[in-house]
Structure 1
Amino acid sequence: MLRLLLIATLCALLNACTGPASRTAVATAAAEQPPTPAARAPERAFPPDSLYPLLLAEFALRRRAYDVALDNYLAQSEVLRDAGVSAHTTHLTQFMQREPEALRASRLWVELEPENAEANAILAALLIRRGRAPEALSHLALVHRKTGQANFPALLNGFSELSARQQANLRHDIDELAAQFPENAPLLLTQAMLHTEGEQYDEALQKLDKVLELDPGQPQALLLEARILLASGGQRPFARVEQALRTNPDNTQLRLQYARLLTASDMSAARTQFELLSAQSPRDGDLLLSLALINREIGDDLAAGAYLRQLLALEQRVDEAHYYLGRIAEDAGDLRAALAEFKLVGVGREFISANARIGRILVGAGQLQQSRAWFERQRRQHSRQSEQLYALESDVLNQSGAPRAAIATLTRALREFPDSSSLRYARSMLSEQQDDL
C-alpha cells in the first residue's frame, strides 16, 4: 500500500522530471520563486530505488529546503539520466546560484538532449562566466541554428585573460562561424569587437557598417562605432546614435550610454541628455547624482545643490549628497556649513574623504583638539575603520604642518594595533623625515 501511495503522490508532484525537457526560456538566478511542480504523468517508469529520493526532493522543494532538494536531484539526475530530471535540476541550481552544480547539471542535460537550445544556452553562459569561452562557442552555434538568438558577443567576456593561443583559436573559430553565417549581426559585432581589441579600427568600422545595415538600431554597434570614432578623432562620432534616438526617443539605455560617453568630451551636451533621462524618471537617484556632478563640473553649483537636495528629499544616495553639498559649501568659503554636511556622511564611498576634509578644516583653523576629539569619536562609533582613521588623522596633521602631532597619533595607533605594518611603516617614514629614528 505504501508503495502505491508513493507512486501516486510522485506522479502528482513531479514536474518536468520525465519525458521531453521544457522548452521554456532560460531560468535565471534572479527568479523570485524556485521551479515548481507541474502535474503530468511519467512517460516511463522510474526504478523503485529512485522514487523515494525524488519524492523527498519535491517535498523539500515545497518546504524551501533547497539544499536537500538539490542534493537529491543531482544524485538522481545522474542515476536516471532522464532529460526532464536534468532540466529540472539545472533550473534549481540556477535559482540557488550554485554555479558548479549548474555546470554539472547542464552538461548532463546537453549530453542527454544535445539539440536542446535552452540546455546549450545555459551551458554556454556558465562556461563563459568561468573563463572558458572557447568551449562555449559550439554550444552558442547550436543555439543560433535552433533559435537565431545566440549572444555571441558574450564570448569576449574575459577575453584579455585568455592565453595568446586561446585568443588566436577563438578568433579563428569565430571567423569560421561567421563565414557560415555572413548575415548574422551578433557574429559580425563580435568580429568588430575583436578588431577593436586588436586596434584594427578600420576593419572594426567595416564590420559595424554591416551590422548597422542589418540592424540599424543595434545599441552595442552604435556605441562601439561612436567610441572608435571619438578615440580616432572622426567627424560627428555620435551621428548614428543621435539618429537612433530621434527614431526611438524612449530608448533610455542607449540614451544613458550616450550621455556617459558625452561626459568625456562635451559636458553641456551630456547635461542635456541626463536632463532628458531625469525627466523620464524623476525619482531616479543615480540620474540626479549624475546631474549634480555634471553641473558641478561645469561650474553651476546652484543647480548642483538643487539636485543634491532632491536626493536628500528622496532619501537616495544620501551620503554622496551630503558630501558634495559639503564640497560646494567649502568652495564657497562657508566652512561651518561644510563641516555640518561632511559630518553627516556615513560609512561608505565618501566616508574617508569627508573625514579628511573635516580634519583639514579643523586643523587649518587651529582647532587641533577639536580635530582629535572628532577622530576619537569616529573611531569609537566605527571600530572597523579605526585603523584607517588613525592613518588618516596622522596624514591630515602631517599635511597641515604638524608632523610631531602626526607621529604621536601613529604611536597611539600602534598601541591599539601593534601588528599593523602599514601604521608602523607610516610612523617610520615620518620619523625619518624628522631625523627621529
Structure 2
Amino acid sequence: MRFTNSLRILAGLVAGLTLLGCAVSHVPPTSSPAPALRDVARDEVIFALLVADLAAISGDYAYASAQYTAAAVQAGHAGLARRAVQAALYGQDAPSAIVAAEAWQRLEPNNADPAQLLAGLELQRGNRDAARVHLSRLLTLKPFRNRQDYLNLVRLLNQNVEPEALFGVLDELLESRPDDVEALFAYTVAAAGLGQAQRADSASARLLALQPDSEQALKLRAQVLHQSGQWQPAAELLKGYLKKNPKDVPARFALARALVDGKEYPAARAAFEAVLMQEPGNVEAQLAAALLAGQMGDRKVARQRLLKLSGEAEQADKAHFYLGKLADDAGQPQQALAWYGRVMAGEHRTDALLRRAELLAAQGQLDPALALLSEAGDADESESMRLLLAQIDLLVDGSRAQQAEALINSALQDNPDNLDLLFARSMVLEKLERRLEMERDLRRILEIDPKNANALNAWGYTLADHGERLDEAHELISRALSQSPDNPYILDSLGWVLYRKGDLAGAETHLRRALSQLPDAEVYAHLAEVLHALGRGDEARKVLAEGLAKSPQDARLLSLKTKLAP
C-alpha cells in the first residue's frame, strides 16, 4: 500500500511539473520532407494516441504508457512522454514509468524534471547507483536557488524509501555542495525527521558554523541536540539566544521542554511562566505551568490553573484528567472519581477510565468497575485490548481468577494467537496452580515470538520461585535479559534464580540493580532473603523495613518479619 501511495504521489508531482500540451492537434509533423511519409507518421501517432487513451480509460495503464511513449518517440514530443509517465505511475508500474521518463529526458535533455523524477523512481527500486547518476545530472540542470527547492527534492526522493538508501543519495548531494546552507538545512530537517541522529547532528553543527548569526540555524541545532538526548547543550544554546531575543516565544517553549527533559523543573516552570508573561492566554503554557506546579508540590497553584483551563473547550478533557490526578495523589478518591468521570474524549480518556475502575475496585465495587470498562465503547483495537486486559487484572486482584480465565478464553476464540491474551491467561493459570497449562501458553508465545522477553522471564521466574529446573530457569531468564538488558523485573528474576542456585553474591548484585530502578515490595523481599542467607541480618531487617514503609500490607514482606527477627 505504501508503494502504491508513493507512485500516486509521484504522479501528482509530475502533473505539476509543466503544462501537459499533449493534444493530438499539437503533435508536430516529422522533419521528413516527403509529404507522404509525414502523413503516414502523423497517422501512426494519432492511432497510438487513440489506443493509449482507450487503454487508460479501461484502466490498462501499463499498455497506455507504452503507447504514449511510442507516440512521444515517433513524434518527438516531450509532452506525450510526460503523459506516459503519468499513466505508468497511476498504474503503479515503476519500470514503465522509468522507460517513459528516460524517453522524456532524451526528448528534453535540458529539462531537470525527468532527471528529478528518475532519481526518485530508481531510489524506490533500490538502485542507488542509478539514482546518484540522475541526481548528479539534476544538479547540473537545476540551480536550486532556495531552501524550498531542496525540501521539494527530499520530498520527491523520500517515497517508500528506507532511510539508509535515501541518505546514501543525499550524502552525495551534501558532499558536492558542502557549504550550501540551504542544502544543509533541508538535509538536517530530513535527517532529524527520519531519526538519523548522527547525520542531523553533524549537518546542523556545520550549518550553525557557516551561519553563526542565523536564528533558524541556531533553533534547528537546538532541536537536533534536544532530540538526540543532549538537553543541556540545547538549553545553553537557547539561553544564549534568548538573552538577545527575550520575546521569542517559540524559543522559550523549546527551552522549557529541554529543561523538563532534564528534570530541571524549577527552571522549566520559570520558562513557561515567562511565556505567560508575554502571552497570558497561551493555553499550552498554562497547562505546562500547572503540571510543573503540581510536580513541585505547589498543588494550590496547579489546581487554580487547571480549574481555569477546564473552562476552555479544547483543553477541558486534559484539565479534568489532571485535576483527577491531583485529587488522586492527595488521597481524595471521591474527588478523583468525579474529575476522571468528566474526561469525555481525547488522549487521556482511556487512562481516566482505567483509573476510575481501579478506584472503584479498591472501594469494593468490583462489578461496577468491570461494567465501566466493558461498556466503554468507541475505542480502537489497541485501546479495546487495554480495557480488556484491565478487566482481567481487576478480576485476578479481586480473587476471581476463574472468571478472568473465562473472559480470556472468550476473547481468544476470535484471536487465538494474540500474544497479550495468551500471556494474560498464562498468568491466570499460574494463579490457579495449573502450571502445565501455563507453560503450554508460554511455549505457544515463544513459538510465535521466540524473543518475547515477558514470556521468557515469566516462565523462568515461575520455575525459580518453585525451586524447579533451575538451570532451565536461568537460561530462560538470561535470554529475556539479552532482549531487555536493564529491565528491573528481569534483573529481579535473575537475582532470584541465582539465589536459588546458591550464588548469593551474584544474587545480591542483580537484586540491588533491580531495586535501584524498581522499589517494589517483591524486590525488597528478595533482597532481604538474600542478605539474611549471607548472614547480614541487620542489613536484611533494614531492607525489610524500607519495603514495609512503602508497602505495609504486602503479604510476602509481612511473612518475612518473623523469619528475620533477631
TM-score > 0.5 by shorter chain? yes
Aligned-residue offset at 1:52 = 2.6
| Greater radius of gyration (CA) | 2
Structure 1 residues 235, 187: closer, same or farther in 2, change over 3 A?
A: same
8 Å contact kept, 1:343–1:358: yes
8 Å contact kept, 2:115–2:138: yes
- Aligned twin of 1:118: 113
Per-residue CA shift, 1:131-152, capped at 9, x if unaligned? 7766544444444441223347
For 1:279-428, what aligned pairs fall within 5 Å after superposition?
288=283, 291-293=286-288, 295-299=290-294, 300-310=302-312, 313-314=313-314, 320=318, 322-331=320-329, 333-343=331-341, 345=343, 349-378=347-376, 388-398=386-396, 401-402=397-398, 404-418=399-413, 419=416, 421=418, 422-428=420-426
8 Å contact kept, 1:356–1:393: no
Structure 1 residues 348, 191: closer, same or farther in 2, change over 3 A?
A: closer
Structure 1 residues 116, 277: closer, same or farther in 2, change over 3 A?
A: farther
Aligned-residue offset at 1:368 = 1.5
Q: Partners of 2:326 and 2:355 in 1: how far apart? A: 12
Structure 1 residues 351, 215: closer, same or farther in 2, change over 3 A?
A: closer
Q: Partners of 1:130 and 1:271 in 2: how far apart? A: 48
Equivalent residue for 1:52, pick from 50, 53, 59? 50
8 Å contact kept, 1:345–1:354: yes
Aligned-residue offset at 1:357 = 0.5
8 Å contact kept, 2:52–2:63: yes
User: Quick check: 1:264 aligned with 2:261?
Assistant: yes
Question: Please, what TM-score do these two structures have when normalized by structure 1?
Answer: 0.62
Aligned-residue offset at 1:129 = 6.8
Structure 1 residues 130, 366: closer, same or farther in 2, change over 3 A?
A: farther
Per-residue CA shift, 1:326-374, capped at 9, x if unaligned? 3344345554454345445568744442232121110111111211332
8 Å contact kept, 1:245–1:255: no
- Aligned twin of 1:150: 150
Per-residue CA shift, 1:256-285, capped at 9, x if unaligned? 666644542452255258659977xx7xxx
Structure 1 residues 329, 161: closer, same or farther in 2, change over 3 A?
A: same
Equivalent residue for 2:429, pick from 405, 424, 431? 431
8 Å contact kept, 2:317–2:343: yes
Structure 1 residues 91, 204: closer, same or farther in 2, change over 3 A?
A: same
8 Å contact kept, 1:319–1:348: yes
Instruction: Tell me the matched-pair count.
Output: 375
Per-residue CA shift, 1:51-84, capped at 9, x if unaligned? 33465589x6xxxxxx849667534433334531
- Aligned twin of 2:220: 220
- Aligned twin of 2:237: 237
Letter in 1 for 2:68: S
Which gives a bigger RCO, structure 1 or 2 (Cα 8 Å, sep 6+)?
1
Structure 1 residues 226, 319: closer, same or farther in 2, change over 3 A?
A: closer
Letter in 2 for 1:108: A
Q: Secondary structure at the match of 2:150?
A: coil
8 Å contact kept, 1:267–1:298: no
Q: Secondary structure at the match of 1:162?
A: helix
For 1:48-197, what aligned pairs fall within 5 Å after superposition?
48-53=46-51, 68=59, 74-81=65-72, 82-88=77-83, 100-101=92-93, 105=97, 108-109=100-101, 111-113=103-105, 114-125=109-120, 136-145=131-140, 146-148=142-144, 149-151=149-151, 162=164, 173-174=172-173, 176-178=175-177, 182-188=178-184, 190=187, 197=197
Structure 1 residues 28, 153: closer, same or farther in 2, change over 3 A?
A: closer
Q: Partners of 1:262 and 1:277 in 2: how far apart? A: 19
Q: Partners of 2:425 and 2:321 in 1: how far apart? A: 30
Q: Secondary structure at the match of 2:261?
A: coil
- Aligned twin of 1:4: none
- Aligned twin of 1:63: none
* 206-215 or 153-162, larger mean C-alpha shift: 153-162
Per-residue CA shift, 1:289-337, capped at 9, x if unaligned? 5752453134224323433531xx24xx776555444334434555445
Which blocks of at least 5 consecutive residues in structure 1 are unaligned?
Answer: 1-25, 61-66
Structure 1 residues 230, 74: closer, same or farther in 2, change over 3 A?
A: same
Q: Partners of 2:239 and 2:380 in 1: how far apart? A: 53
8 Å contact kept, 2:62–2:87: no
Aligned-residue offset at 1:156 = 9.3
Which blocks of at least 5 consecutive residues in structure 2 are unaligned?
Answer: 1-9, 29-41, 295-301, 436-566
State the identity %.
Answer: 19
Aligned-residue offset at 1:43 = 4.2
Cα RMSD over matched residues? 5.2
Letter in 1 for 2:101: W
Letter in 2 for 1:375: L
Q: Secondary structure at the match of 1:435?
A: coil
Q: Partners of 2:342 and 2:258 in 1: how far apart? A: 32
- Aligned twin of 1:23: none
Aligned-residue offset at 1:238 = 1.7
Q: Secondary structure at the match of 1:238?
A: helix
8 Å contact kept, 1:342–1:358: yes
Letter in 1 for 2:311: R
Aligned-residue offset at 1:109 = 2.6
Per-residue CA shift, 1:241-261, capped at 9, x if unaligned? 5489679x59x6x77666644
Q: Partners of 1:174 and 1:426 in 2: how far apart? A: 51
Q: Partners of 1:88 and 1:111 in 2: how far apart? A: 11
8 Å contact kept, 1:256–1:277: no
Q: Partners of 1:387 and 1:345 in 2: how far apart? A: 20
Q: Partners of 2:391 and 2:341 in 1: how far apart? A: 15
8 Å contact kept, 1:260–1:270: no
Q: Partners of 1:356 and 1:333 in 2: how far apart? A: 17
